[in-house]
Amino acid sequence: MPSVLDQIIDGVRDDLSTRQQDTPLEQLQRLAEAQPAARDGEGALRAPGLSVIAEVKRSSPSKGALADIPDPAELATRYAAGGASAVSVLTEARRFGGSLADLDAVRAAIDLPVLRKDFVVTPYQVWEARAHGADIILLIVAALDDVALRELMALTRQLGMTALVEVHDEVETTRAVDLGASVIGVNNRNLKTLDVDPETFSRLAPLVPETCVRVAESGIRDHEDAAMLARAGADAVLVGEALVTGGDPSAAVDAMRSAGVAR
């Protein structure tokens, strides 16, 4: 039986086929090249203290609907006011309720680096991210072989963007490091099963060189979790659900960011 990740990627490829018919690659490349230079996502995450990547997230495969977000730009502005280092925007539609329109709205509203969070499996999607103003792109090791991952990382660098290379086990971490990833996200959620193991980050972080940016992802509920991850070596946390359901996203971001000061 296909894993949850496989099922998501099948849907992503179907939707991608439609977009490619509507906007050929050559047109997309012209749009990308007309964009201002990408902001320095890696540099933003290397700032002192614990960086927070705050996410615009409507739903998830594991929890279903999370929050009604009528104005993603307003939410992103509140994240920025709380001290977020970057804002992540889910653009996958079927399982996460996201869209490129959300990315456009957030890009227009804030001056922070913006992460396009999706299931990127082709160069077209990297060009697409840049054309819509993204500065950071998520590359999931579990979804890519080494040839594809190397190609997508190289294109990301060529476009001046930052690749957040996501891993969830020892083999994937070794692959990411060996291929030269400089920003590595450790996902506590196994995308093949959707199970969350809160110990995943602390187990894998020692495999990531200190020269890399270490990002902890998934299962981060509050500032106490953020502080624990900072002590385990996290330079940044990526948080969605807790921020969109907590009622005061600015205060929540500020609390998580401040939690890393005492590590």
All domains of the chain in start order, with CATH: 4-259 (3.20.20.70)
Q: Give residue-wise pLDDT tens across range 104-115.
A: 999 999 999 999
| 192 a catalytic residue | no
> Catalytic residue among 92, 128, 166, 172, which?
166
**Residue 195 φ then ψ, to 5°:** -70, 145
State how far the alpha carbon of 113 is from the alpha carbons of 39, 101, 196, 197, in Å: 6, 17, 27, 28
> Catalytic residue among 57, 59, 172, 190, which?
57
| 117 a catalytic residue | yes
> Catalytic residue among 51, 117, 128, 172, which?
117
Rounded to the nearest angstrom, the gap between the alpha carbon of residue 251 and the centroid of all alpha carbons in its chain is 21
| 42 a catalytic residue | no
| 63 a catalytic residue | no
Q: How sure is the predictor about 263, in pLDDT bands with cuts at 50, 70 and 90?
A: very low
Q: Give residue-wise pLDDT tens across range 117-136.
A: 999 999 999 999 999 999 99
- Classify residue 5 as left (phi > 0), alpha (psi -120 to 50) or beta: alpha
Q: Give residue-wise pLDDT tens across range 63-122.
A: 888 988 999 999 999 999 999 999 999 999 999 999 999 999 999 999 999 999 999 999
| 166 a catalytic residue | yes
